[in-house]
Amino acid sequence: MSLDCIFCKIAGGEIQAKEVYRDDDVVAIADVNPQAPAHLLVMPRKHYADLTALYAAGAGATAAKLFEVAAKVGREHGARGFRLVANTGPEGGQTVDHVHVHVLAGRHMAWPPG
């Protein structure tokens, strides 16, 4: 738990979010600023700043769990497909320093991204 972390507060129930999934390890919520008709964020309840911090902590099993839940909610919200994104670090476009995977669905995803 990181005291100033908004996703820790959401995972801890201190700040409300539209939850679409929760278990002992992982929470998935709707993004407040959706970039697609379905835009979900899958995050561990435990705080890791980003993907590299998660692997540095030896928590690869948590990364696997994030992908498992992302695939589950992706299939539920994107019958015709979905995209997973993990912005990492400043040049990766990360703005919230609690590791999370974006699940985008409901429209055609262009490639390459901007």
Determine which residue in the list 8, 20, 38, 70 makes contact with Zn ion, applying CB under 5 A. 8
Q: Which is nearer to ligand AMP, 62 or 100 (CB)?
A: 100
DSSP-based three-state secondary structure for 20: strand
Phi-psi region for residue 69, left (φ > 0), alpha (ψ -120 to 50) or beta?
Answer: alpha
Active site residue 100: yes
| Residue number with CB closer to ligand AMP (10 or 62) | 10
- The answer, yes or no, to whether the previous bond of 112 is cis (omega within 30 of 0) is yes
Instruction: CB nearer to ligand AMP: give 27 or 62.
Output: 27
Gap between the Cα atoms of 23 and 4, Å rounded: 23
Q: Which of 39, 47, 100, 102 is catalytic?
A: 100
- Residue 3, token pair as written in the block: 């005291």
| 2 contributes a contact to Zn ion by CB under 5 A | yes
What amino acid occupies position 64?
Answer: A
In the bound complex, what is the minimum distance in angstroms from residue 17's beta carbon to ligand AMP?
5
The residues that are catalytic are 100
